[in-house]
Amino acid sequence: MWKTKTPILCLLIAAAISAKPSSSATDTFVYGGCSQLKFSPASAYESNLNSLLSSLVSSAALGRFANFTVPGGGSTVYGLFQCRGDLDAGACSACVSRAVSQLGNICLDACGGVLQLEGCLVRYDNVSFLGAEDKTLVLKKCGPNIGFDGQDVLTRRDDVVGSLGSSGGSYRVGGTGDVQGVAQCVGDLSPSECQDCLSEATGRLRSDCPMAKSADVYLAKCYARYHSGDSGSSGGGTDKDKDQDVEKTLAIIIGIVTLTILLVIFLSFIGKQCRKLQDGK
């Protein structure tokens, strides 16, 4: 099992995580992990876990956060879900349903599991983690570096990150110019614990990704992220950049095809001329 204050075991990190906090792809995989301790099929723990996961899914239609404890002697299970603060009830419910479904495949028979999607977090364990502050680093991703002429972007970045670390509330958004940011705590933290967690997360954005155009820091109980307008997602730039890349690729392909056709025509012409010369002899 994993315990509070220790890194999640068997951690799985997505190859590509969107650095753009306003992404509509709420089911994009961010990270996941499973405990090493397994439960027996058809056991009391499995029954309690199924009951808990069912409660998480049904509650997601009513709010963006809920936690549950299903008691059972030595088979007690604890769990919670957390949706991104800007999601409506329908999007939250759909995200939690997907996360619960995926956890069943990722953490088969594991006593503990956690899955962070772009739009929501689901976590359960046989050891209580509810209401406990935990600033363990789970995921850090730094985007490409800003050039030497990007001091203005860095200044705006620092302003945005500073506002995320100092403003109140468990869900925080900020932006200035082309730099946008978002931060959020898990709902079982107190206001002071949330502030402490986000101070740690935003501090790591600056210290661990000092020159990055975009960055993501996920701690066990909170996260903070920002992106500049020209950084787009880690998958490869903004939509405009991607459109331009597609246009460039098509132009190259068309050019190659055209050149090949002309070459074939030219070689055919040369061949005919050579045959005429041979026939003339």
The SS3 call for residue 168 is: coil
Q: Of the candidates 169, 82, 79, 90, which has an alpha carbon nearest to the alpha carbon of residue 119?
A: 82
Predicted confidence at residue 100, as pLDDT, reads: 97
The pTM (predicted TM-score) of the whole model is: 0.74
Q: Quick one: 276 exposed, middle or buried, by C-beta within 10 A (0-12, 13-18, 19+)? A: exposed
Q: Find all residues with CB under 8 Å of 221, minimum gap 6, and list them.
A: 132, 133, 134, 135, 185, 186, 188, 189, 193, 197
The residue whose two tokens read 């991607």 is 242
Cα four-point dihedral sign 226, 31, 129, 5? negative
Predicted confidence at residue 168, as pLDDT, reads: 83
pLDDT (tens digit, 0 to 9) for every residue of the chain, 281 residues total? 343 333 344 454 443 333 344 344 788 999 999 999 999 999 999 999 999 999 999 999 999 999 999 998 789 999 999 999 999 999 999 999 999 999 999 999 999 999 999 999 999 999 999 999 999 999 999 999 987 667 888 889 999 999 999 878 899 999 988 899 999 999 999 999 999 999 999 999 999 999 999 999 999 999 999 998 765 433 333 344 434 443 443 344 445 545 655 565 666 666 666 666 666 65
Q: Helix crossing, 44-59 with 89-106: angle to 10°?
A: 160
